[in-house]
């Protein structure tokens, strides 16, 4: 920081002010203003109105949209579905990611190759991932049922059975995202000084002791950070659901954003959908604030 | 027997166990991709065979030719590459300019504006997409390339990433250039940007991938099949030809190939970009 101030004071001689800064900032400000800043404000305004985009009339309805949302059993259903998805994916995701990061932190042959393999699902599109997995889940010809049958487990109707569909969604969700958390955990692990482990070894600590008494406690800021991040991510799941199950069967995998999408772009209840969007935002905002409060410095360290 | 040897003797088998487990997990992770590629080269009869074959016995490109004739996948492909390239180039320009202003120029309220700007990254796209759609509708841009490109031309994440990098560049380099009569544009173009290549590469790769893989925005703003991106086309295709797995896997290979290729050559930029964007939340 002091270095930066230093640099600035030396630059003071060249006094640049708003007009010249605006030349640099205007492209970003214009696009940002029209497509981010204005929409943030406008959708808040919309959330207090009833408006079908194509029929004109915009009526102020106060907090009616929010009240209607809280009174809609379907809202609570999709909220529950999203929560189930979150509870199903996040802990499993983090366990796998931590384990992989922990192993890759040791002397393992082919680390680069392994890391690339675990990261590949992260970079492919959710649409392609969902299409590929639909094939793997195919009840008659799918690879998964074939593998299950070959070890004596009866095949499952993955996509057309309500419980199995949620399982399928969770499997793909974990597969698709644990690579990110693996990288974050790896960064956290490499930040733990080697001499802590050496000291513990001298005291006769075994592998599990070291993991439980050194790795886990020192990693806890990273872990909490990843936890919040993963919850935020899983609350916004949409693409996967759209292509893998389309919210079905019978709404069993219909998540919050899917519900929002339907209200906005199928029924064109723009006001109501905006209220739902703000409710989602409120949940994520609280989580983000918690994260900022606890890990202000940590985020940069992990990066 | 020396102490060290005991140590090694105990450690080697343990690591073998770890190797077996981690390679098994890696295999499980990539099997869906291998399965996709294998299926895409099998003739219909072989795809439906029980038990399934691993490698295609009658290697064929039929699925690809059928995928490209059943739906205009070539057109989808062009749309996706064009839009992703346009947004990437556009963001490199707008973000470099804004990042330079935030990193180096002095104007009133700079830091406050920057933090508000950053704060908007917390807002999920679902909040902005409804008014965004409305604005595009008013502009008459629904179902055009502009709808896919223009809203992506500014990025708080990109500006942040470049600003952080620009601030690590010693200011002395610029001062020397100013003394030699260089303008601010000249400094940005000739000194800052060449030094910032790693950050620019990270932003470019990340943006390209995000746009190429995007689904919800094309889904909302496009109507006609001619305008579809690969992802949207693949999703619609899956709905329409739900059991033609050969075609669908060929389509999936097509939809993942560019990203996998870039990833193969520039892994570290991908990882950096994704990690940083994850951290933005």
ipTM: 0.88
Which chain B residue lies closest to A176 (C-alpha atoms)? B29
Is A184 in Cβ contact with B154 (below 8 Å)?
no
pLDDT tens for each residue of A181-210? 999 999 889 888 888 888 888 888 888 888
Q: Which of A31, A265, A270 sits opposite B153 (nearest CB)?
A: A31
Give percent of chain A with pLDDT exceeding 70: 91
pLDDT of residue B87: 97
Q: How far apart are CA B76 and CA B237, in angstroms?
A: 11
Q: How far apart are CA B211 and CA B208, in angstroms?
A: 5
Q: Is the pLDDT of residue A292 over 80?
A: no
List of chain B residues with pLDDT < 50: 1-3, 5-6, 9, 280-281
Judged by phi (left if over 0) then psi (alpha if -120 to 50, else beta), residue B57 lies in: alpha
pTM: 0.89
Burial class from Cβ neighbours inside 10 Å (0-12, 13-18, 19+) for residue B10 reads: exposed
| Chain A 35-94, residues with CB within 8 Å of chain B CB atoms | 35-40, 42-43, 46, 53
DSSP-assigned letter for residue B272? H
Q: Is the pLDDT of residue A244 over 70?
A: yes
pLDDT of residue A4: 55
CA distance B128 to chain A (A): 5
Burial class from Cβ neighbours inside 10 Å (0-12, 13-18, 19+) for residue B70 reads: middle
Q: Which residue has the tokens 């384990």?
A: A99
pLDDT of residue B7: 52
List the structure tokens of B261: 């290729």
CA distance B32 to chain A (A): 7
Q: Which of B124, B256, B276 sits opposite A303 (nearest CB)?
A: B276
Asked whether the beta carbons of B6 and A102 are under 8 A apart, the reply is no
pLDDT of residue A300: 44
Residue spans of alpha helices (H) in chain A: 2-11, 18-32, 38-46, 64-71, 73-104, 111-123, 126-137, 143-150, 162-190, 194-202, 207-210, 216-235, 239-244, 256-265, 270-295, 298-302
């Amino acid at each position: 920081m002091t270095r930066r101030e230093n640099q600035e004071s030396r630059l003071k001689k060249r006094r640049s002010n708003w007009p010249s800064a605006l030349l640099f900032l205007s492209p970003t400000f214009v696009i940002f203003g029209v497509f981010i800043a204005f929409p943030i404000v406008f959708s808040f305004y919309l959330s207090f109105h009833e408006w079908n985009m194509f029929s004109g009339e915009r009526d102020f309805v106060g907090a009616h949209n929010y009240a209607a949302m809280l009174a809609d059993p379907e809202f609570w259903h999709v909220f529950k579905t999203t929560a189930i998805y979150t509870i199903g994916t996040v802990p499993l995701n983090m366990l796998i990611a931590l384990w992989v990061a922990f192993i890759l932190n040791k002397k393992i042959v082919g680390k680069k190759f392994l890391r690339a393999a675990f990261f590949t699902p992260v970079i492919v599109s959710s649409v392609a991932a969902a299409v590929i997995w639909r094939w793997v889940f195919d009840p008659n010809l799918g690879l998964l049922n074939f593998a299950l049958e070959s070890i004596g487990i009866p095949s499952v109707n993955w996509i057309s059975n309500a419980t199995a569909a949620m399982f399928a969604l969770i499997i793909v969700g974990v597969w698709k995202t644990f690579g990110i958390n693996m990288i974050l955990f790896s960064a956290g692990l490499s930040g733990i000084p080697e001499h802590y482990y050496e000291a513990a070894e001298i005291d006769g600590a075994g592998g599990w002791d070291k993991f439980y008494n050194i790795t886990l406690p020192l990693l806890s800021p990273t872990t909490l950070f990843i936890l919040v991040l993963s919850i935020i991510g899983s609350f916004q799941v949409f693409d996967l659901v759209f292509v893998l199950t389309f919210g079905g069967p019978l709404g069993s995998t219909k998540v919050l954003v899917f519900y929002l999408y339907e209200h906005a772009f199928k029924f064109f209840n723009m006001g109501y959908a905006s209220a739902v969007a703000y409710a989602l935002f409120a949940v994520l905002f609280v989580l983000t604030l918690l994260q900022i409060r606890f890990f202000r410095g940590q985020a940069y360290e992990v990066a | 027997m020396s102490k060290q040897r005991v140590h090694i003797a105990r450690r080697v088998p343990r690591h073998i166990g770890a190797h077996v487990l981690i390679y098994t997990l890696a295999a499980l992770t990539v099997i869906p991709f291998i399965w996709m590629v294998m299926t895409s080269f099998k003739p219909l009869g072989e795809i439906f065979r029980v038990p399934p074959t691993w490698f295609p016995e009658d290697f064929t490109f039929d699925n690809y030719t059928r995928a490209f004739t059943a739906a205009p996948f070539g057109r989808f492909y062009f749309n996706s590459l064009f839009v992703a390239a346009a947004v990437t180039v556009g963001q490199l320009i707008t973000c470099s300019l804004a990042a330079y202003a935030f990193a180096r120029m002095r104007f009133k309220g700079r830091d406050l504006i920057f933090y508000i700007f950053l704060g908007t990254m917390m807002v999920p796209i679902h909040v902005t997409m409804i008014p965004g759609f409305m604005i595009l509708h008013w502009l008459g841009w629904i179902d055009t390339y502009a709808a896919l490109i223009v809203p992506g031309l500014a990025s708080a994440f990109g500006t942040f990433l470049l600003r952080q990098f620009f601030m690590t560049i010693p200011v002395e380099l610029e001062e020397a250039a100013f003394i030699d009569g260089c303008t601010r544009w000249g400094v940005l173009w000739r000194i800052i940007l060449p030094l910032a290549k790693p950050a620019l590469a990270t932003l470019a790769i990340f943006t390209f991938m995000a746009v190429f893989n995007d689904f919800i925005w094309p889904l909302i703003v496009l109507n006609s099949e001619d305008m579809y991106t690969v992802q949207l086309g693949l999703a619609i295709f899956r709905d329409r030809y739900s059991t033609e797995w050969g075609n669908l896997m060929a389509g999936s290979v097509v939809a993942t190939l560019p990203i996998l290729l870039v990833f193969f050559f520039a892994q570290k930029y991908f990882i950096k970009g994704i990690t940083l964007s994850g951290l933005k939340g």
